[in-house]
Amino acid sequence: MSGPGAQAWRDALVAMADPGVTAVLTVQCGLDWLRPGTAPLRDEIDEAITALAIARPGVRADRIVVHSLPAIGDIPPDELAELNRAHADWLWRLGLVGVMLPDAARPRVHRAIVAGTRHSVDVVDGFELQVNGAWADSGAVAAAHPSA
């Protein structure tokens, strides 16, 4: 996965418990999120954001994920099929969470489309928290989600 390592993501999950957190932005567009080794962390992030939405519906959660897999010709067909399965399952679960929660609490899932033959989305994976209305890294937030 691009961007911060697993520990940084887990640290951000712990920091979400701060009562001053007013918004969350995750960018998970790297293909590594779809590999079996990162599934536990991906699920942990999904569960934590869902729990936050249920417990504190006033906290805005924006999630940027890849809409479709980029052009990746050097991956063996079996691995590509597994990536596609993991991607479809993840998007289905994110959508299901959205349907189950009231509009005010629903995490907003934004899908980054990889055009044509591009091999990646030009954003760096990351997890940002807004505390008391201020983003810790406003530059990263603006780069990933200009309307945030």
In terms of average pLDDT, the best of 7-21, 67-81, 120-134 is 7-21
Q: What is the rounded CA–CA span in Å between residue 91 and residue 76? A: 23
Residue 108 pLDDT greater than 90, yes or no: yes
Angle formed at CA 26 by CA 147 and CA 44, multiple of 5 degrees: 155
Residue 14 pLDDT greater than 70, yes or no: yes
Residue 3 pLDDT greater than 60, yes or no: no
User: For the whole model, what pTM was predicted?
Assistant: 0.87
Which stretches of 1-148 are DSSP H helices? 6-15, 39-55, 77-100, 138-144
Report strand pairing: 126-131 vs 134-135. antiparallel
Range of lowest pLDDT (10-14, 54-58, 143-147): 143-147
DSSP 37-75: GGHHHHHHHHHHHHHHHHH-TTSEEEEEEESS----TTS
97-105 mean pLDDT: 92
How do residues 83-94 score in pLDDT, each as one tens digit?
Answer: 999 999 999 999
Residue 16 pLDDT greater than 70, yes or no: yes
